[in-house]
Amino acid sequence: MLNQSQIDEIRPKLQLFRLVIGTLIAGVAIFAVVALVFTRPNFPPQLSAVSTVLLALSGILVVNGFVLPPLVDRATLTQIRSDHSQLATAAQQSAALPRLTAAWLNRSLVGAAILEGAALLNLVGMLLEGNAIHLAAAFVVVLLMVFYFPLENRVLSWIEARLELLNSD
């Protein structure tokens, strides 16, 4: 369990990172507005080959947006584990805390950035094809990006779980 001073150490980083993730989401929203200004979206009876390829690529990006962040975690935890055999004392946990916080921020940035790419790809598809399915897909991807928004309880729970995992090995 993290103590209050450790939580207070994490809070400023969370505020900065809320701004970063919020900016990624806002960038997609602004590009969606621009795309809507230049395109009149429609629902054609059948998807074109370009739309099909773009949606498939977007789907691959979405999957990667949730597969790659745990790989980033694993690499970071392996490195922390090699530096500290056990994190039994409060001092050892405090030493690992900045690295664990950075690991959470890195995993979130990787995931959100990949999802942002998927959303922007769909918006480009809407600009190219005028197909509203791309706008709907971009909206769904933005909703998935919210998963990476750094809520305090989510981050603290993640860090505590990683500390327990590091202690159990």
pLDDT at 6: 86
pLDDT at 95: 76
CB 10 within 8 A of CB 18: no
| CA–CA distance, 28 with 38 (Å, rounded to integer) | 15
Extended strands (E) in the chain: none
pLDDT at 84: 63
pLDDT at 111: 96
Q: How many CB atoms lie within 10 A of CB 38?
A: 9
Alpha-carbon distances, residue 99 vs 1, 6, 103, 109 (angstroms): 17, 13, 6, 15
- End-to-end CA separation in angstroms for the chain: 17
Per-residue pLDDT of the chain (169 residues; tens, 9 = 90+): 788 888 898 999 999 999 999 999 999 999 999 999 999 889 888 999 999 999 999 999 999 999 999 998 888 888 877 776 555 566 666 778 888 888 899 999 999 999 999 999 999 999 999 999 999 999 999 999 999 999 999 999 999 888 888 777 6
Q: Dig out the tokens for 155 from the structure.
A: 């981050």
Residues linked to residue 37 through DSSP beta bridges, in sequence order: none
Cβ partners under 8 Å of residue 125, min gap 6? 50, 51, 54, 55, 58, 131, 134
Query: SS3 for 128?
Result: helix
pLDDT at 18: 94
The residue to which tokens 């729970």 are assigned: 157
CB 131 within 8 A of CB 50: no
**Residue 42 CA neighbour count, 13 Å, CB half:** 9
pLDDT at 58: 97
Residues linked to residue 42 through DSSP beta bridges, in sequence order: 131
pLDDT at 1: 75
pLDDT at 168: 74
Residues linked to residue 131 through DSSP beta bridges, in sequence order: 42
